[in-house]
């Protein structure tokens, strides 16, 4: 545990530096927005392209691992929905809370941290988690909220979802990398070196951006945010682990990676969605702040316990 904690500590230290820079005013919200854009559209995309360009679609789409992760997510999603309905919350708020309980910070925190801590062998499973989060559950959220508000399925909904995915640089970079890998051609050395150099900026840039963005979050609605944080940090990895180990008999190493990915704190893009739809914004913001702070301890614990 201690060795893993020391491995992950630098990642959280950079998040802390970003938080301090944002809180002190040295790094204002405008600067955070531009840094996030650089990481999202350039550095992280280069890293994902580099990983996927050296894999096949079959390396990422492991049916057993995918089914286990989906099963674990579905179980926690239904629990979070039920808790929201017991509290008499409307469907749109219940769905946003359920989304918060299962979507981890895989892109900005999981990819750089888990690949460095667990090795490049973990990359394919982490990318599988990222694909499911971005395509399956983001689409599900859009569909449910749209139907709940309009009372019907719009013919434009598939187009809206497709455009949203096509505009997401993480989805595009992985698709382009897999397409290039399918050609059987290696990357031209200058291009490969450029992707490596640019991708190297993803880890510190993403971590600093997480911290700086958290400095603008407030721990309001603490009771519900605490519940959502517990669901994300405890229930989600537990459900995914049960599904992977007992139900789908996933390879032990991939099982550990799935559990570690499920133990990541709530993703920042959940807040962006909450703001976009104007649903449960304070709850989601607080859950991101609380879960990220708690994951300094919980994430190393999970990694040490299940990936050794």
pLDDT in tens, 182-201: 998 888 899 999 999 999 99
| 185 contact partners, CB below 8 Å, separation of at least 6 | none
Is 237's pLDDT higher than 90?
yes
Reference 178, options 58, 41, 39; nearest CA is 58
Domains of the chain: 2-306 (1.20.1530.20)
What pLDDT shows up at residue 3?
82
Task: Give the integer Cα–Cα distance in Å for 158 and 54.
Answer: 31
Which two structure tokens, joined as six digits, stand for 85? 């309905």
What pLDDT shows up at residue 216?
82
What pLDDT shows up at residue 157?
78
Is 162's pLDDT higher than 90?
no
What pLDDT shows up at residue 308?
67
- pLDDT tens for 28-87 read 999 999 999 999 999 999 999 999 998 988 999 999 999 999 999 999 999 999 999 999
Reference 210, options 25, 22, 24, 30; nearest CA is 22
């Amino acid at each position: 545990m201690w060795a893993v904690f020391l491995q992950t500590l630098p990642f959280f230290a950079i998040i802390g530096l970003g938080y301090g820079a944002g809180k002190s005013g040295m790094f204002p919200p405008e600067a955070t927005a531009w840094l996030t854009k650089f990481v999202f559209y350039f550095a992280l995309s280069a890293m994902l392209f580099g990983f996927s360009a050296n894999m096949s679609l079959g390396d990422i789409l492991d049916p057993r691992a995918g089914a286990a992760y989906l099963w674990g997510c579905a179980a926690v999603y239904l629990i979070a929905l039920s808790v929201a309905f017991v509290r008499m919350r409307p469907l749109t708020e219940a769905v946003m809370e359920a989304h918060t309980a299962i979507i981890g910070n895989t892109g900005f925190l999981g990819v750089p941290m888990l690949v460095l801590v667990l090795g490049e062998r973990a990359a394919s499973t982490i990318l599988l988690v990222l694909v499911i989060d971005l395509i399956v559950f983001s689409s599900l959220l859009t569909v449910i909220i749209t139907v709940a508000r309009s009372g019907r399925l719009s013919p434009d909904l598939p187009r809206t979802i497709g455009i949203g995915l096509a505009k997401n640089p993480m989805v595009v970079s992985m698709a382009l990398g897999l397409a290039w890998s399918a050609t059987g051609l290696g990357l031209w050395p200058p291009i490969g070196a450029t992707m490596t150099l640019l991708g190297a900026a993803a880890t510190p840039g993403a971590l600093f951006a997480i911290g700086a963005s958290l400095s603008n979050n407030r721990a309001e609605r603490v009771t519900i945010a605490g519940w959502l944080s517990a669901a994300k940090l405890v229930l989600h990895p537990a459900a995914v682990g049960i599904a992977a180990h007992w139900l789908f008999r996933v390879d032990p190493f991939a099982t550990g990676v799935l559990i570690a990915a499920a133990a990541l704190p709530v993703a920042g893009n959940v807040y962006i969605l909450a703001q976009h739809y104007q649903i449960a914004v304070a709850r989601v913001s607080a859950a991101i702040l609380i879960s990220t702070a708690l994951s300094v301890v919980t994430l190393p614990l999970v990694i040490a316990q299940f990936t050794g």
